[in-house]
Amino acid sequence: MVDEEIESSSTLHPPLDGTRRIRLDIAYDGTDFNGWGRQPNLRTVQGEIEQALASILRRYGPPPTLVVAGRTDAGVHATGQVAHLDLTDAQAGSLLRPDRGRNRGGERDAGTALARRLNGILSQKGDIVISRGSLAPEGFDARFGALWRRYSYRLADQTAVRNPLHRVNTTWHHSRLDGEAMDAAAASLCGLHDFAAYCKPRDGATTIRTLQSFTWERDVDGVLTARLQADAFCHSMVRALVGACVSVGAGKLDPGDPVALRDAAERTNAFMVMPARGLTLTQVGYPDDLRLAARAAETRQRRALHRSDAPIDATVATTATTDSAADRPRIANGVEVS
């Protein structure tokens, strides 16, 4: 299973003829899931949602499948996951029929109606919520259209208040950590680099990423929260980056070591990859509607070049930074600013 964004040989996902693309915004508690991606005989987020889709649309042909912005590993949570699916005209129409209570909410678009129906089924266990369903604009692709993904990681060290109500989304650490040193180390890691030292290797997958921002701060209860944003994250990258900073905070690594390890571009056991439970996918960013199709095509081309072992080319690898200013985060010294 995987952590965040996966590379694969898949192509773009244009809507099928005669279908309507639906965007789903999704939140879930990942504790009892074996990750996002469906797996035989295992409970997964994708599997649960697609099973609910099959139930709702059982009389209207094969059920749709989901394409997701970022696959998450077992135990990883989400408050801002995004996926898309394509409904046939018959499937979309069935959601809006007023007879037999199918459209109790009186929705006028299939996305809103589908979200309500899905939540009616998913609420039985309550660890998945469809935050919003909407008709996707033309060119929308949940995975390849994304400009960036944001994650947070919650960590309660020896000095923090340990709230049992947050036990499923917070990792507890036995010692006192230097949050300022961790924040400085995090900022030094930002930029366009090969993050092979922080990624589990996958055949045909690039480890070149643009880490746009990475910060640490303590809240009023003393809990340390990391916030990271990148164009995409490779397998185990977020939890490895967090682990390197924790080692700096604990005095096991010098402040400059995380960058030196990154630049060595080799997997290392110099730090621990942190547990999944502290990690949450919080938001996925997309360009304005007029740029959606172009962004998806650019991303797919860039991934294909990286899979062919091409050298880092800033004009290709930083495609996300060529979009309009409104689409870009503002970064100062490696830190996102508002």
For every residue of the chain, which 3-state class applies, written as one string? CCCCCCCCCCCCCCCCCCEEEEEEEEEECHHHCCCCCCECCECCHHHHHHHHHHHHCCCCCCCCCCEECCCCCCCCEEEEEEEEEEEEHHHHHHHHCCHHHCCCCCCCCHHHHHHHHHHHHHCCCCCEEEEEEEECCCCCCCCCCCCEEEEEEEEECCCCCCCHHHCCCCEECCCCCCHHHHHHHHHHCCEEEECHHHCCCCCCCCCEEEEEEEEEEECCCCCEEEEEEECCCCCCHHHHHHHHHHHHHCCCCCCCHHHHHHHHCCCCCCCCCCCHHHEEEEEEECCCHHHHHHHHHHHHHHHHHHHCCCCCCHHHHCHHHHCCHHHCCEEECCEEEC
Set 73, 141, 157, 231: catalytic member:
73
Known catalytic residue at 73: yes
Mind telling me the catalytic residues? 73
